[in-house]
């Protein structure tokens, strides 16, 4: 037996051909959850990493939006080690709305599989606002930020919480580089009502066996979310963190109606483009 030498955690073991090393090698991700913020991306990541053929980075690396100048080797060094049979996945929901992200990911690998978790844009915006409010209690009201002119019904599309939900607009940039067949859309709503069904489709898309099924989930009534029955490590049920399932701020129904009207044409365009009706109308 060889004497064990300390190993640089970011380097593959010396003298071994790429991909053959026993503890596995760090590889650039073959699949990325690129969006959207407050859509259910953390749930998708936590659910998919239960699969034995998937290894996922737990934190958001923000490589293709904020850290691109650090280079691909830096990005690779963050990844978990995988065996040849395993897929590396990372999630950074802001990629979907980052102008340069499609080109940059394409330049890394044109075969990258992209997962986008979408959700009713109005509820998504309220969820986004609720999150910001919990960090900055002094911000203006949701109504105040949503409109440039409320009485004219002019929505402020420069506010990020509104802009992110214009899915059809952002999708255009991705379709300049990737075919639709390489982008999988997860319904944030169905992820709650039928997690096994939605995760079944994700597994099919990734080309891995349907291992994650009904048996893995139970519905936690307090959180209003499905949770995993047990995690690999602790054998205890695993729910998403405290910050998930926050009670949304109450918004004037008329404001919601105006935003619904605003998003309707974008939603319809999005449904037509992806060939999938998410029933947000």
Q: What is the pLDDT along the chain (281 residues), one digit of tens a residue?
A: 544 444 444 444 444 455 444 589 999 999 999 999 999 999 999 999 999 999 999 999 999 999 999 999 999 999 999 999 999 999 999 999 999 999 999 999 999 999 999 999 999 999 999 999 999 999 999 999 999 999 999 999 999 999 999 999 999 999 999 999 999 999 999 999 999 999 999 999 999 999 999 999 999 988 889 999 975 566 677 888 878 878 899 999 999 999 999 999 999 999 999 999 999 98
DSSP string, 210-222: ----GGGEEEETT
Q: Which two tokens stand for residue 3?
A: 């004497």
Task: Supply the pLDDT for residue 187.
Answer: 98
DSSP string, 99-144: TTHHHHHHHH-TT-EEEEEE--HHHHHHHHHHHHHHH-TTSPPHHH
Q: Across the chain, where does the E strand assignment appear?
A: 25-26, 31-35, 54-56, 81-82, 87-91, 113-118, 147-149, 154-155, 183-187, 217-220, 225-228
In the set 38, 135, 201, 269, the catalytic residue is 38
Active site annotation includes 38 = yes
**Residues ≥6 apart with Cβ < 8 Å to 3:** none
Q: Supply the CATH classification number for the domain 26-121+161-243.
A: 3.40.50.300
Cα 109 to Cα 76: distance, rounded to the nearest angstrom: 13
| Backbone region of residue 126 per phi and psi (left: phi > 0; alpha: psi in -120 to 50; beta: other values) | alpha
Task: Supply the pLDDT for residue 231.
Answer: 58
SS3 (DSSP) at 186? strand
Q: Are 66 and 75 in contact (CB under 8 A)?
A: no
Cα 224 to Cα 227: distance, rounded to the nearest angstrom: 9
Task: Supply the pLDDT for residue 10.
Answer: 46
Q: What residue numbers does the annotated binding site cover? A: 38-42, 119, 127, 244-248
pTM recorded for the entire structure: 0.90
Q: Are 231 and 49 in contact (CB under 8 A)?
A: no
**Closest C-alpha to 95, from 77, 115, 75, 69:** 115
Query: How big is the chain, counted in residues?
Result: 281
Task: Supply the pLDDT for residue 5.
Answer: 41
Q: What residue numbers does the annotated binding site for 3'-phosphoadenylyl sulfate cover? A: 38-42, 119, 127, 244-248
Q: Which residues pair with 155 in a beta bridge?
A: 147
């Amino acid at each position: 037996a060889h004497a064990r030498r300390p190993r640089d955690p970011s380097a593959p073991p010396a003298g071994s051909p790429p991909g053959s090393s026993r503890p596995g090698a760090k590889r650039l991700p073959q699949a990325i959850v690129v969006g959207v913020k407050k859509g259910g991306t953390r749930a998708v990541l936590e659910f998919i990493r239960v699969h034995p053929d998937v290894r996922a980075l737990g934190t958001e690396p923000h490589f293709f939006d904020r850290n691109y100048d650090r280079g691909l080797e830096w990005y690779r060094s963050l990844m978990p080690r995988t065996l040849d049979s395993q897929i590396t996945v990372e999630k950074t929901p802001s990629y979907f709305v980052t102008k340069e992200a499609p080109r940059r990911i394409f330049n890394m690998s044109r075969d990258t599989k992209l997962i986008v978790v979408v959700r009713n844009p109005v509820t998504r915006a309220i969820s986004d606002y609720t999150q910001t409010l919990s960090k900055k209690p002094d911000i203006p009201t949701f109504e105040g930020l949503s409109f440039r002119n409320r009485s004219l019904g002019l929505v402020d599309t420069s506010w990020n919480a509104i802009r992110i939900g214009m899915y059809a607009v952002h999708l255009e940039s991705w379709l300049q580089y990737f075919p639709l067949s390489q982008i999988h859309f997860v319904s944030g709503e169905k992820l709650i009502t039928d997690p096994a069904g939605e995760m079944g489709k994700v597994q099919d898309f990734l080309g891995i066996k349907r291992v994650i099924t009904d048996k893995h989930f139970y519905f936690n009534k307090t959180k209003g979310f499905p949770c995993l029955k047990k995690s690999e490590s602790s054998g205890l049920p695993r729910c998403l963190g405290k910050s998930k399932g926050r009670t949304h701020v109450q918004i004037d129904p008329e404001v919601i109606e105006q935003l619904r009207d605003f998003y309707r044409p974008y939603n319809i365009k999005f449904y037509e483009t992806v060939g999938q009706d998410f029933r947000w109308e």
